[in-house]
Amino acid sequence: MENKESALAPFKYRAFTIFWLAALISNTGTWMNSVASSWLMADLQTSPLMVALVQSATTLPFFLLALPAGALADIIDRRKLIMTANALMMLTAAVFAYLVWKQDISPQGILILTFLLGAGAAFTAPAWQALVPGTVPKAHLSQAVALGSININLSRAIGPAIAGVLVTKYGLPTPFAVNALSFIAIILATLSRKQEQSNSTSSIPNEKIWWAIRAGIRYSLYSKPLQATMMHAFGFMFFANAFWGLIPVIAKEHLHGDAAFFGNLMAAIGAGGVLAGLCLPTVKRWFKVNRVVVIGSLGTAAVTAYFSVVSSQWQAIAAGFIFGVSWVLVLSSINISAQQSLPDWVRARGLAVFLMVFFGGISLGSAFWGWVANLYSVSYAMYGAAVGAVIFLLLTCRLKLQQGGEMDLTPSLHWPVPMAAQPVGFEQGPVMVTICYQVNPDDKQAFLKAIYRLKTVRMRNGVYRWGVFENTETPGQYLEYFMEDNWAQHLRHHERVPNADKVLQDQVLVFHQGQEPPKVTHYIAADFPVKS
């Protein structure tokens, strides 16, 4: 059931409040840097493609690095990962500020330093997002995610406005310098958080980075809720980022605005996002999550199309406010769905895959629509993106998103510890598990339909091969088998099976006949004998 408490309920928890305030400070610095770098590029280059590439340089690192970053966040202390990444970003931002101050920055330099800042953010994001559920009870997770969207949009509202004032009074290097200082907030907030115990309670050794990445990819490939979420995310971001990539060009060239106007435009977008985030719990009680995404997507498409012909600055600011509302309705719904689709053991890796797809859409969208604008015109690109967004929405509106309560992903721990006649090393493998069922021949079709639903859940929990065989000598006897990389992976499988999977397993067990449960047998690969 949807929690009906205030959208601000997570602020009752000190840990969440500290994280939220730190993120607000850092995000404000990031938006100051983003606006200043986009405006700087627009001053140095008249090419819409080069201006749009600033957005791509920010987000491309997420596409390239989010997966190893997520794997690291699931197997090492997330706090150390966050603090190291933010310390390096602080150094990079300081170099950026210095080069701008010395007037020794080139368009290529802007893209390189922007890429490096994006790389630090890529290593921070999965770990940071994976820590957030631990700061609030599960009942308040939706509100916490919505407040995260409010945070981003509040910083988007105040960051550009502050940047405009600082540039006017103190010069262009100032926003870059303030951004460097803003990373201190994340470092201090992370220091205040104790190391999560969940990373160290198991007696099984941590996965190696490559195995952890494989597990994250495998889970994402076999999780239909996460796949639906990623499909929505990629398409929405690809088309919506025509707006983000080309808005500096429209503000400067079409509307003849200055840095102050651009800051006000971005602030209006952020203000709309804040309003949407505050209203999201109420909106979700009125509409199902997919309907919210449809409404928000149509809103962003309409504003994107309008910006292809807008001629008034105040009309642009009003339309920007509507874009901010629509943007956050979609973005919050997608982010909530991603969080609700993932169990704790793979949360950072799953979010990393999600972010990789999410920011892949941003990077490709910004570059593609910048190329279209360069080849034809900015107005043509904006209108084309709006039409494409509507077509994509029609094609994907039936892909169901998660809004909480659909799946119980907490570990069931109902699998007994496997017994071995002699010690088995964690790295020994591969491992094959067989489960023997005795079924009434009349129930054959119903049983097979039920057991084939287990294939997906087995595969996403670490199995790489699965099958069912029928005994030719004993009518009604079936053997399910699955294989895993090694003994440690199988033991992790025991710890990871969620209650939602137990429900499916119980549906299979209904067909089993006999006094005893199905016989489970474990096999481990026998090594070829080596001559002494």
DSSP label of 411: B
pLDDT of residue 247: 85
- Mean pLDDT over 265-276 rounds to 84
Dmax (CA) for the chain in angstroms is 88
**Tens-place pLDDT, residues 31-85:** 888 888 877 887 776 677 777 788 778 878 887 888 888 888 877 888 899 999 9
| Sheet with 431-438, edge to edge strand ranges | 465-470, 477-484, 431-438, 519-524
Give me the torsion for CA of 82, 88, 90, 95, rounded to 10°: -160
Residue 106 has pLDDT above 90, yes or no: no
pLDDT of residue 45: 66
Q: Which carries the bigger pLDDT value, residue 267 or residue 458?
A: 458
**pLDDT above 70 as % of the chain:** 95
Which amino acid, one-letter code, is at 310? V
What tokens does 358 get? Answer: 């999410």
Which amino acid, one-letter code, is at 469? F
Please answer whether residues 236 and 361 qualify as being in contact, where contact means their C-beta atoms are separated by less than 8 angstroms.
yes
pLDDT of residue 1: 40
Q: Which carries the bigger pLDDT value, residue 38 or residue 199?
A: 38
CA separation for the pair 64, 73 (Å, rounded): 16
Using the Cα atoms of residue 89, residue 95, residue 97 and residue 100 in order, give the sign of their dihedral. negative
Q: Tell me which of 440-444, 501-505, 527-531 is least confident.
A: 527-531
Mean of all residue pLDDT scores within the chain = 85
CA separation for the pair 213, 349 (Å, rounded): 7
CA separation for the pair 417, 413 (Å, rounded): 9
pLDDT of residue 141: 76
**Strand 431-438 with 477-484, pairing:** antiparallel
Q: How far is CA 151 from CA 31, 183, 247, 418, in A?
A: 12, 15, 21, 46
CA separation for the pair 194, 181 (Å, rounded): 24
Residue 302 has pLDDT above 90, yes or no: yes
pLDDT of residue 46: 60
Of 120-124, 298-302, 501-505, 524-528, highest mean pLDDT: 298-302
CA separation for the pair 336, 145 (Å, rounded): 6
pLDDT of residue 530: 62
* Phi and psi, residue 479, nearest 5°: -120, 115
pLDDT of residue 117: 94
Please answer whether residues 150 and 332 qualify as being in contact, where contact means their C-beta atoms are separated by less than 8 angstroms.
no
Map residue 282 onto helix, strand or coil: helix
Place of tokens 């494409």: 388
pLDDT of residue 200: 45
Which amino acid, one-letter code, is at 240? A
CA separation for the pair 348, 354 (Å, rounded): 10
Instruction: Indicate the pLDDT class of residue 199, thresholds 50, 70 and 90.
Output: very low
Cβ burial 258-271 (10 Å sphere, 16+ → b, else e): ebebbbbbbbbbbb
Could you give all domains of the chain from N- to C-terminal order, each with its CATH number? Answer: 10-198+206-396 (1.20.1250.20), 431-524 (3.30.70.100)
Please answer whether residues 50 and 107 qualify as being in contact, where contact means their C-beta atoms are separated by less than 8 angstroms.
yes
Residue 153 has pLDDT above 90, yes or no: no
Radius of gyration of the chain (CA): 26
pLDDT of residue 444: 94
CA separation for the pair 463, 489 (Å, rounded): 9
Nearest to 129 by CA among 339, 423, 417: 339
Q: Tell me which of 87-96, 397-406, 495-504 is least confident.
A: 397-406
Which amino acid, one-letter code, is at 71? A
Q: Is 191 exposed, middle or buried (0-12, 13-18, 19+ CB in 10 A)?
A: exposed
Please answer whether residues 426 and 488 qualify as being in contact, where contact means their C-beta atoms are separated by less than 8 angstroms.
yes
**Tens-place pLDDT, residues 408-440:** 778 888 888 888 888 888 888 799 999 999 999
Residue 2 has pLDDT above 60, yes or no: no
- Mean pLDDT over 389-404 rounds to 83
pLDDT of residue 426: 85
**Across-strand partners of 40?**
none
**Tens-place pLDDT, residues 20-31:** 999 999 999 998
Nearest to 525 by CA among 489, 494, 483: 483
Q: How far is CA 165 from CA 5, 120, 177, 311, in A?
A: 38, 27, 14, 25
Instruction: Indicate the pLDDT class of residue 103, thresholds 50, 70 and 90.
Output: confident
